[in-house]
Structure 1
Amino acid sequence: MSIRHDIVLEDTTLRDGEQTPGVAFSKETKTKILNSLIEAGVSSVEIGIPAMGGEELDFIRSCVDRQDEARLVVWHRGVRADVERSLDMGFKSVHIGLPTSEGHLKASVRKDRTWLLATAKDLVHMAKDRGAFVSISAEDIARTEISFLQEYAGVVHEAGADRLRLSDTVGLLSPEGYGERVAAVVSTAGIDVQCHAHNDFGLATANTIAGLKAGARYFHVTVNAIGERAGMADLAQVVVALKKLYDRDLGIDLSKLKEMSTLVAQAANHPVLPWQPVTGDNVFAHESGIHANGMFRDTSSFEPFPPEHVGGERRYILGKHSGRALVAWALEQQGIEPQEELLPHCLDEVRALSIRLGGAVSQEQLVEIYRNAQVTVAA
């Protein structure tokens, strides 16, 4: 099955992302992140959990009058009073979190599946009667029998739910397993499905794509893949993969991805790894001689897409693996027309210095190496 054309990205940086251990966003920070998401073209955002109260509730209340800018979804436990409070505040989109595996029902809410089906039906009916867009979870789908997932999907769909979130809560599924569960629900219930994949085995992005290929309409991401334990599917990675590899344009301004990544990294006090796909500093950095030679002739040689597409910047790094062409280029950047016969010596010195430093050599250090070489040769 091909990915449908009406898929919808929903960002949950402000809810599941903030559940990253050790991360806490202030109201001001959450507002900045929300602004950044909306400015980038994100049309649906899960903004937080009203039941937490305090500054979290203050932020959520401040969002009530912004619902024309994007769909703003508030998250709730399977507790009627929680959902009613959000509806009373004026929110038009609510999510209800409920587990479907026997293990999570027993360990998390201490209830059984009879309670689950009755509660889900009651909460969906209530919220729909008040005109809300209603999203509801099937949590821990990896350890939920597919037959029960299908039964549950049928019950919540009949009750009027607009969307069923299939949550691989502990990130246990392979892309094949996740896709199988999405397809099983899509084939038996008319409800829209949302992918919610955790990254415990590094498969969140792959599972999200698999779910979309199996017929899901909605999917969850976070900026920088932050979230519980190993995080979730990364917004930048999924958006760029969908556009570049699957020809699905979600209307996101890709040039804002790097800026948004930096904002969330600073807010979370967790720097982005240099090799993080799309937004990492090394994604468009080149050091090795073979790569630099190719890049100087054709930048598509060793880049899947130009850095400006995603707000990135191309860099050339002098180091242990550099070649003569990069040394010559770096000297030219410093206004020096290098003497060809000095380049082998300079390259040897650059490689040796890189090993001593354990990293990159600056262009200023290269100039010093070059000047010393000139003196040595003249002598």
Structure 2
Amino acid sequence: MFELDKKSNLLELPEHRYQLKEVDEARMFREFYPYEEIPKIAFNNVHVPVNMPSEIWITDTTFRDGQQSRAPYTADQIVKIYKLLNRLGGPKGIIRQTEFFLYSEQDRRAALECMNLGYDFPEVTSWIRASKKDFQFVKEMGIKETGILVSCSDYHIFHKLHMKRGEAIEHYLGVVKDCIEAGVKPRCHFEDITRADIFHFVIPFARELMKLMGETGVPIKIRACDTMGYGVSYPGAMIPRSVHGIIYNLHKDADVPHALLEWHGHNDFYRAVANSTTAWLYGASAVNCSLFGIGERTGNTPLEAMVFEYAQLKGTLDGMDPTAITELAEYYEREVGEVIPPRTPFVGKNFNVTRAGIHADGLLKNEEIYNIFDTGKILNRPPRVAISNTSGLAGIAHWMNSNPALYAYKGIDKNNPLCIYLKDWVDEQYAQGRVTVITDEELEELIHVYEKITD
């Protein structure tokens, strides 16, 4: 029998279809994930409505997932990055939270130093082992919310935990109750959700969490974790790979409020940004990111990318300060020792450098022709040109004035002897048959030679 749905006011299948279904063997979804072949993307042409929350925001995992694939940050580095995240997120706290490991003394000290700064945003949260001892430790530190790992695919339930589905739910509910008992708000990380049985494990478990929330009055967040990056944003794609399907069903069929839904993506198939945006569009208020996408394996959703996704969706930066992105990138390369690939959008050395000669000519005439937006104003990164046979003295002077590595030559005029020296060398290169643009490294080395000659 159909039942009248209280949200849609339409006759729909009854809620009891979302019951826990025990299985004797792990369901590995081999039709999607044959393992010895490339994963499959299947469609059933089920379309769900766009349902973006009125408020959306970003959460950060730079100090948690971001530390799982690199050398640990020092406490001083964490505090510096945290300060810049605060500035980037702006007074409205669009970067709402950040999470910390608390295993080491250094991590705990860094978390406390950040908390002592007194910023409202990003709120310091934690990620800990699911034990009463750790919950009590979080409470003593004054941290109000913590992440708890609740793996939800049979890959993990059967092969890592060696449990049945029902046993896993009972175990997880016990852990969440321990967290609440300790006075800490739980954030449940539904690990490996894109390989999970959505209707016969994920939704029933989420409904139990919402029931517990109703009984205790304590908000319980659900973070949908695309642990292996299998999620897709294509309309009509089948669950469990459908990002919009997962978010829609968690909200509609498990009654998880928008504000308690969060997406955590990985970039194994180059889909982290698109999937995170899709999660926003279909009902998750929060997307979880790390700076520059640094994280496990291929990394997480780059936080800086979602700043610009937010601005494009909302039509405003809402007080965010994207010039902090440029400072963060410079700090990472200068102090943290991270090498950012030069073509990385928004932060790479060459992201707004025009190298094609004809493009450089257009950029010099009007930068809007070949620049994505006013990168000088918004990111404090004016567009730059690479030098070719069409650049001329003006092009060389422009290159020097806009090259951060040549700060000492800021304001140099095209008639300066150094510009003339460089142009003569460039002209000779092309006279000898060169067809490619001149690299920054070549010109910078040539400037060092000139300095020695004229010293």
**TM-score by shorter chain over 0.5:** yes
After superposition, residues 179-258 of structure 1 pair within 5 angstroms as 179-191=244-256, 192-244=260-312, 246-247=314-315, 249-258=317-326
Equivalent position SS for 2:324: helix
Question: Which amino acid letter does the alignment assign opposite residue 71 of structure 2?
Answer: V
Q: CA deviation at 1:289?
A: 2.2
**Does residue 1:276 correspond to 2:276, yes or no?**
no
Contact map agreement 1:223 1:264 (CA 8 A) in 2: no
2:212 to 159, 172, 175: 159
Distance verdict in 2 for CA 1:293–1:268, change over 3 Å: same
Question: Which amino acid letter does the alignment assign opposite residue 30 of structure 1?
Answer: I
**Does residue 1:359 correspond to 2:427, yes or no?**
no
Q: What's the counterpart of residue 5 of structure 2?
A: none
**Does residue 1:104 correspond to 2:104, yes or no?**
no
Distance verdict in 2 for CA 1:351–1:196, change over 3 Å: farther
Once residues 31 and 337 of structure 1 are traced to their aligned partners in structure 2, the CA distance between those partners, rounded to angstroms, is: 43
- The answer to which of 10-19 and 179-188 deviates more is 179-188
Question: Which amino acid letter does the alignment assign opposite residue 359 of structure 1?
Answer: T
Q: What's the counterpart of residue 110 of structure 2?
A: 59
**Does residue 1:82 correspond to 2:134, yes or no?**
yes
Q: CA deviation at 1:137?
A: 1.1
**Does residue 1:117 correspond to 2:182, yes or no?**
no
Once residues 267 and 180 of structure 1 are traced to their aligned partners in structure 2, the CA distance between those partners, rounded to angstroms, is: 42
Question: Which amino acid letter does the alignment assign opposite residue 287 of structure 2?
Answer: F
Once residues 81 and 183 of structure 1 are traced to their aligned partners in structure 2, the CA distance between those partners, rounded to angstroms, is: 35
Q: Which runs of 5+ in 2 are unaligned?
A: 1-49, 214-218, 235-241, 398-411, 418-422, 450-455
**Does residue 1:15 correspond to 2:64, yes or no?**
yes
**Does residue 1:290 correspond to 2:355, yes or no?**
no
Q: What's the counterpart of residue 72 of structure 1?
A: 124
Once residues 351 and 129 of structure 1 are traced to their aligned partners in structure 2, the CA distance between those partners, rounded to angstroms, is: 78
Contact map agreement 2:77 2:336 (CA 8 A) in 1: no
**Does residue 1:327 correspond to 2:379, yes or no?**
no
Q: What's the counterpart of residue 33 of structure 2?
A: none
1:349 to 422, 429, 432: 429
Once residues 126 and 142 of structure 1 are traced to their aligned partners in structure 2, the CA distance between those partners, rounded to angstroms, is: 27
Q: What's the counterpart of residue 175 of structure 1?
A: 233
Q: What's the counterpart of residue 28 of structure 1?
A: 76
Once residues 36 and 206 of structure 1 are traced to their aligned partners in structure 2, the CA distance between those partners, rounded to angstroms, is: 25
Distance verdict in 2 for CA 1:356–1:314, change over 3 Å: closer
Q: Deviations over 1:202-223 (max 9, x none)?
A: 1111110111111111111111
Give the RMSD, CA atoms, in angstroms: 3.1
Once residues 165 and 200 of structure 1 are traced to their aligned partners in structure 2, the CA distance between those partners, rounded to angstroms, is: 19
Once residues 68 and 193 of structure 1 are traced to their aligned partners in structure 2, the CA distance between those partners, rounded to angstroms, is: 24
Once residues 120 and 4 of structure 1 are traced to their aligned partners in structure 2, the CA distance between those partners, rounded to angstroms, is: 28
Once residues 51 and 348 of structure 2 are traced to their aligned partners in structure 1, the CA distance between those partners, rounded to angstroms, is: 30
Q: CA deviation at 1:280?
A: 1.0
Equivalent position SS for 1:73: strand
- The answer to which of 34-43 and 354-363 deviates more is 354-363
Contact map agreement 1:257 1:310 (CA 8 A) in 2: yes
Q: What's the counterpart of residue 376 of structure 1?
A: none
Distance verdict in 2 for CA 1:356–1:310, change over 3 Å: closer
Contact map agreement 1:288 1:323 (CA 8 A) in 2: no
Distance verdict in 2 for CA 1:365–1:233, change over 3 Å: same
Q: CA deviation at 1:165?
A: 0.2
Q: CA deviation at 1:92?
A: 1.0
Question: Which amino acid letter does the alignment assign opposite residue 60 of structure 2?
Answer: D
Contact map agreement 2:188 2:221 (CA 8 A) in 1: yes
Question: Which amino acid letter does the alignment assign opposite residue 290 of structure 1?
Answer: I
Distance verdict in 2 for CA 1:115–1:53, change over 3 Å: farther
Q: Provide the aligned length of Structure 1 versus Structure 2.
A: 358
Equivalent position SS for 2:175: helix
Contact map agreement 2:343 2:349 (CA 8 A) in 1: yes
Question: Which amino acid letter does the alignment assign opposite residue 36 of structure 1?
Answer: L
Contact map agreement 1:334 1:363 (CA 8 A) in 2: no
In the TM superposition, structure 1's runs of 4+ consecutive aligned residues that sit over 4 Å from their partners are: 265-268, 331-334, 343-348, 350-358, 363-366
Bigger proportion of residues as helix: 1
Contact map agreement 2:66 2:294 (CA 8 A) in 1: yes
Contact map agreement 1:226 1:232 (CA 8 A) in 2: yes
Q: Which runs of 5+ in 1 are unaligned?
A: 369-379
Contact map agreement 1:142 1:168 (CA 8 A) in 2: yes
Once residues 173 and 117 of structure 1 are traced to their aligned partners in structure 2, the CA distance between those partners, rounded to angstroms, is: 23
Once residues 345 and 267 of structure 1 are traced to their aligned partners in structure 2, the CA distance between those partners, rounded to angstroms, is: 35
Contact map agreement 1:77 1:98 (CA 8 A) in 2: no
Q: What's the counterpart of residue 38 of structure 1?
A: 86
1:5 to 18, 38, 54: 54
Question: Which amino acid letter does the alignment assign opposite residue 224 of structure 1?
Answer: F
Contact map agreement 1:257 1:311 (CA 8 A) in 2: no
Equivalent position SS for 1:195: strand
Equivalent position SS for 1:264: helix
- The answer to which of 133-142 and 348-357 deviates more is 348-357
